[in-house]
Structures are given as C-alpha cells and as structure tokens.
Structure 1
C-alpha cells in the first residue's frame, strides 16, 4: 500500500524557519495526486484498510483539538476507498497522540524548537526508535545531533536510509537486531567459542 516504516512523522523545525518550511511543505504535499495506484499520475494510494484510515483521522482530529493548524489536507476525500490526503499540521502540541504513535499515513506534524538540547530531548521522547533524519548546513552539528538521537538509523541530509549494504533496524519498541549489510549477516551465524588452556 506504499506505507513505509521509515517515513518521517514528526518534523522538528527551528522556529526561525518553521513558517516558511510549513508553507513550502504544504504546497508540495497539496500538489500530490491521491487515487488508485494503478492509475497514471497518481502519487498517493490508499491506506491499508478502513481501520488504518480511521486511525489517521483520529490522530489528526486529536492534534487539531489540541491546537494544531491544518495547512493542507486533514479531511477524508469523498468516494469509495481508504484514501486520506497528504496532510501537514503546524503548531502541533507535544501532548498530541500522534507524537508517540506510528501514524502509517500521509501526515506531517510540524513542531518548533529553539536549541539542540531541547530538540534532542523531544525527539527522543517516544517509545519508537527506527529512524531519524537530520537536515543542517553544518556537518559538525549534523554528526553531533545524529549521535544524540535514540534511533537505529539516521539520514543526515537525506531522506533515504534503506540500502542493502547497510544494517537496517531500530531501537526501543522499533526492533531488536539488524538485517542487511555485514551486521545483518552476523544475525544468521552461529559463533563457537573454544577455550584452550596454555601451559
């Protein structure tokens, strides 16, 4: 159904650029075409089932009730199918249910921050830890923040982390162990230790 466990759900954006980021993201998301994936020109297909769509609707409704602003989307389209439009929410409250729930829907929740320590605390305040993304102009800052994230994978200035040559997996409630790459192969090997006395 086009869902990706590695899709970003929570966007922590520095307060100085949050309005422009939200505007640009809403423009891009609003231009995506929703419909059956078998049709030409469709960008976003249906969610997995009616329960999946209902979950997304509930999470968005909860965020809006807590003060989030819908910049684009946010409402189920008319007609059959389990479709939900790409949605961008700004000013999301940290207490919103979507902050600690895997959305599995086309929803981007924007939250603002002012400094690194704050954003790391808030980004790590979740039971999930599969992947995080860091976008910055400074490599030193990017590496420092990446190391501070409690996730199994980090995309530094890239939105793509899946690579067959690299280990794939998360921490916390997002998994144990890795697949892919040499580390992933090690998961399938048995190690034998032989102790030999030396005289």
Structure 2
C-alpha cells in the first residue's frame, strides 16, 4: 500500500471538484436536526458531469505506485475488480466497472444477499450496523477498488475493506466523490490510499 497517501482532489483536475461543488445540493436538517446532507443526485443526473465523475473515480493514478505502473504499461487500470457499497456506491461502482471493462461486486446491508456471505459490523451514531458480501465474489489476490459516494467518519468503508480483505482481496484504493475531511474518515481507513474528487 502507499501508506495512506493523499491523492489530489479531482485526480489533478481542479475543474472537476468545482463542477461537483456547483451541482451538489446541501440539505439542512436531513436526516436529523443539525445534520447537513450533501445530495449528489444532481451530479449523477447531469450526463457530462456523471461521465467526468466516473472517469475520475476510475483513474489509474489513484492506485498505489505498483498498480499505477501496471496501468501505464497497458495492463489495465491497476485493479481487477470494483466493489460498490450500498446504496449510492452501487451506481458509481457499476459505472466504473463498465468504464474499465471489469466486474462489480456489491457490498450490501445485512439480510440482502441470498447465498453464503461474510459479515462485518460497523458503528453508527446510535448502535451498529452490518455489511455483507458473498464469500465467492472476491478471489484471494484480486486487486480491488472500493467505491462509494461519500467518505465521512469512515465506518462504512472500514467495514467494506474488512470484507474485501477477509476474502483475501487486496484493496488498492478507496475512491469517493466527496470526502468530509473534518470527520476523520481518511485516518480511520489508513493506511489505504483514499482518492476523493472533492474534499470539503
């Protein structure tokens, strides 16, 4: 791993973070009083903006140097599989997988997957929740890009990383549209490389 290295927002494209900031809508007091929800659905609904977001999330420069070297040599994007975290991560991961010609694996909330699965708990403000993945969805040694919409406290993504690594996968990077830097999620999932298109 690259020791939790910071990758510049927008993968070197300062206009992308400005575009996301312009289209995203802040919704006060949602889902509870005092919380400001950053709604990214207008970004996803704008075709050209969504394409740029997907390309930014999939960029080979976001992975560790060994994988980036493979990508530069024409061996693909530096990862073998894309994992998306329920729910908005599904939209993004599927688009990244399609863009790169790779497969996509959903990490789901408890009770949604029908076959043998691995589970990981994570903390919420009031209690815990569980994420699951099918045990045959990731092979040992596969290089995995984990994709979600927002990195906040890091609990959800830490659980997703635990699942990938529990099946023998290698997390080459975590790629998100927005990082809420003040909440410390990057530190929680260190030493994994975090790639955010817009850090606020």
Answer whether TM exceeds 0.5 for this pair: no
| TM-score normalized with structure 1 length | 0.32
More RCO (CA 8 Å, sep 6+): 2
Higher strand share: 2
Q: Normalised by the size of structure 2, how large is the TM-score?
A: 0.32
Between Structure 1 and Structure 2, whose CA radius of gyration is higher? Answer: 1
Q: Comparing both structures, which one devotes a greater share of its residues to helix?
A: 2
